[in-house]
Structure 1
Amino acid sequence: MTTRRGFLGTVSAVGAATLLMETQAATGASAATGAASATDEKAARDAIRNVNAGMRANYASLKSELTKHLSPVVVVQNNAVGGRFTLIDKGVQVETVDPVPEYFELAKSIAHVPLGVYSVIAAYLSDKVPNIANSERIDPHDLDMVAFKPAGDTGWITPLTGFRSTLATARTKLPTANLPADLAASSDKILTEAIKFIDTAVGAKSFDMVAFNQFAATVYPSIRVNMTAAATAQITGIEALMKRWRARIGEQAWSDLYVMVLSIWTTAELNQASIIIRRTMNQAKVNTHLIDLPTAETPADPIGVALENLARIVQDNVAAEMVFNAALDVADALKGKEDLLSKEILQQIGGTAPAHTASFGAAAAGTCPITGRTATA
């Protein structure tokens, strides 16, 4: 006999089962729809990414072909002997020259003596900023990282003694190096004072930054003499080479000359080769055709790196005017070092661009492009 309770229970059970099956069906359909939707979305996004991939492939192809047509170009590799210069004309490497007289390298070699001593002792310095002139310019955190050896460690004695031997040999041989008299005298002073500092430190088995600072200050006037000699050698050698190459390829071609100067990042500002070369170029184009290319380290293929970057610059110069001819500020960004999104980002975050470094003209007049300070004698 079916009771009301039993009947209602049966009905409820059937209803629950029906509801469960309907829910499972709906869930399955939803999951299938969701899976399909996710697959479609990924496919759509991949298709969008393929647009950029295609652009990059076409861009790279153009750049690869363009490198064969870049002309005329001078590639400058900064090195220890004043620079290696390569002339490329009509896609052919015409000549590679180290044009700077040898005494450039010799003058700088001796001028680097204090840096050589510092490089040995730096890790053994006290990690406290000493009471020396302009000590506020030393970043305490930087000093703490450089002075990583424990107090009392005398591991510096052996390498510093070895460097002393190198200095002593150079001082002994100096009179027969046939250097100009003022360069020979300044070099002797630097070597003599460095040996004296080393002997005192090794004898006492200790040193401090104050003593090193005094040594460096003593030899600085002599370092200036060496710097003057090196600068004269570099100017003379580079200008003579550029004059010869200018006559070789002719005035019309020279007026369109591109110069790519490769340097380590730390010497990219007011690079010495760039300063000299710009005077020999077409002054109407020098600001766009003399290109300083800082690198993290000297590339294995400097000519290839220079031409690859120049090809990018040249094709972007034309692309900027063709693609963004309705927005000249964006065109200028593509033609220069500015990222195309930089202004948009600055606008959205309410920021302003950092001040640009001073122009070459201001820097050449004696103003440091980084600090804005005027050089003093």
Structure 2
Amino acid sequence: MVTRRGFIDGVSVAGAATVFGITPPASATTRAAGAAVTDAELTARDAIRATNVGMRASYAALKSELISRLSPVIVVQNDATGGKFTLIHGGSPQESATPVPELFELAKSVSHVPQGIFSIIAAYLSDKVPNLPNAHRIDPHDLDMVAFEGPGTAGWISPLKEYAATLTTARRRLGEADLPRELEISCGKILDESLTFIRGSVRSGTFDMASFEEFSGRTYPGIRTNMKYAAAAQISGVEGLMRKWRSTIGEEAWQDLYTVVLSIWTTSELNQASIIIRRCMNPAKVATHLIDLPTIEVPRDPIFLALDNLARIVQDRVSAELVFPTDPVVADAFKGKEDLLSVEILHQLGETAGAPAASFSSSSASSACPVRPGRA
């Protein structure tokens, strides 16, 4: 995992400039081209690098020790069933639970059907944005990337038929699932509309963005109903587990609870588990003790990943205030999500945190960005 300390050791300014095709400033070079580096200089530079090696070793040792002492912690692994929750207290896992009722998974499963159909046909769409009400919200380049096959081939027909068989079985057995009547009706509507779209597309041998939007629009009321049931199931399950664990570890320990929620990037903001859990935590510490941690993929050891990152966060918060006691802005950058050099980089670029980036256009590109267009 790349962190703010993940600099590439040993790459010189001049070397990096060569990689990116940038002419380095005179100050970035220390001697005329071709001049040899003396043994004394090499030794001196290695000595300088050694200070960072020593820091990293000490930092890793502190983190390793801290991992085993973090308590209490709840680690949340988001998944299709509403999440797996693990309570760590006294330095070791105490209990893992999947508290969300099955209704959550069932309601979301059917709601995902239009996305399943889209995933099969997307590559075969036209790469031109049609005249749709929401056309201005579709990036033409994004569409061009997704629609890489184009409408000239029929590779979508076979997988779409296979998916239709799956949907047909679900529709036929829907009444036996013992769902609340309103949820059963909404699921039936979504499945019926999906099968109608598939059959029509296969029969005609064609589809387009307009026909898909018309179909998906008809499923939306049912999806909203399913979302209502899924949300209620998750709230009841997670809040029930939080009450139980709060009683288990006691009120005093609960006030200092850390929570680490692991999720993929697309659900890392306003994450469903985080929204519920924050209501159960000490309000004074939610901002610092509730950590939403985006992951690239499902980690092999989610507990270690969560605790390893939490240990970094906790020790950085303390060290930031002690290492940078005279500059609270830099200290905040060090202990937060910002790169340590972010404040200085913004300063040198004449920008401020949170301000929109300078617009990029053909007339301003050369002055706005030192990397010239067309350079790899």
* 2:343 alignment counterpart: 343
Distance 1:159 1:36, change over 3 A: closer
1:271 is displaced (CA, Å) by 0.4
Deviations 1:89-132 (A, max 9, x none): 01110000000000100000000010000000000001110111
- Distance in 1 (CA, whole Å) between partners of 2:269 and 2:283 is 20
What stretches of structure 1 of length at least 5 have no aligned partner? 1-33, 357-377
Matches within 5 A, 1:313-352: 313-352=313-352
- Distance in 2 (CA, whole Å) between partners of 1:55 and 1:188 is 61
Q: TM-score, normalised by structure 2?
A: 0.84
Contact 2:330 2:343 in 1 (8 A): no
* 1:127 alignment counterpart: 127
The amino acid across from 2:187 in the alignment is: S
* 2:198 alignment counterpart: 198
Alignment RMSD, CA only? 1.4
* 1:214 alignment counterpart: 214
Deviations 1:27-77 (A, max 9, x none): xxxxxxx99961110110010000000000010011011100000000000
Range with greater deviation from structure 2 (281-290 or 317-326): 317-326
* 2:373 alignment counterpart: none
* 2:75 alignment counterpart: 75
Contact 2:261 2:273 in 1 (8 A): yes
* 1:20 alignment counterpart: none
Q: What SS class does the counterpart of residue 298 from structure 1 fall into?
A: coil
The amino acid across from 2:260 in the alignment is: M
* 1:265 alignment counterpart: 265
* 1:27 alignment counterpart: none
The amino acid across from 1:345 in the alignment is: I
Contact 2:123 2:146 in 1 (8 A): yes
Structure of larger gyration radius? 1
The amino acid across from 1:164 in the alignment is: A
Q: TM-score, normalised by structure 1?
A: 0.84
The amino acid across from 1:286 in the alignment is: V
Deviations 1:149-180 (A, max 9, x none): 14320110000000000000000000000001
The amino acid across from 1:76 in the alignment is: V
Q: How many pairs does the alignment contain?
A: 323
- Distance in 2 (CA, whole Å) between partners of 1:117 and 1:329 is 49
Q: What SS class does the counterpart of residue 128 from structure 1 fall into?
A: coil
- Distance in 2 (CA, whole Å) between partners of 1:344 and 1:150 is 46
1:355 is displaced (CA, Å) by 4.8
* 2:141 alignment counterpart: 141
| Sequence identity percentage | 63
- Distance in 1 (CA, whole Å) between partners of 2:45 and 2:79 is 48
The amino acid across from 1:277 in the alignment is: I
- Distance in 1 (CA, whole Å) between partners of 2:217 and 2:150 is 27
Matches within 5 A, 1:1-377: 38-355=38-355
Q: What SS class does the counterpart of residue 261 from structure 2 fall into?
A: strand
- Distance in 1 (CA, whole Å) between partners of 2:205 and 2:151 is 12
Contact 2:73 2:259 in 1 (8 A): yes
What stretches of structure 2 of length at least 5 have no aligned partner? 1-33, 357-376
Contact 2:111 2:223 in 1 (8 A): yes
Q: What SS class does the counterpart of residue 241 from structure 2 fall into?
A: helix
The amino acid across from 1:160 in the alignment is: L
The amino acid across from 2:227 in the alignment is: M
- Distance in 2 (CA, whole Å) between partners of 1:48 and 1:310 is 30
Contact 2:257 2:289 in 1 (8 A): yes
Q: What SS class does the counterpart of residue 85 from structure 1 fall into?
A: strand
- Distance in 2 (CA, whole Å) between partners of 1:169 and 1:75 is 36
- Distance in 2 (CA, whole Å) between partners of 1:320 and 1:353 is 19
- Distance in 2 (CA, whole Å) between partners of 1:35 and 1:178 is 81
Distance 1:35 1:129, change over 3 A: closer
- Distance in 2 (CA, whole Å) between partners of 1:68 and 1:284 is 25
Distance 1:136 1:224, change over 3 A: same
Q: What SS class does the counterpart of residue 74 from structure 1 fall into?
A: strand
- Distance in 2 (CA, whole Å) between partners of 1:144 and 1:355 is 30
- Distance in 2 (CA, whole Å) between partners of 1:82 and 1:110 is 15
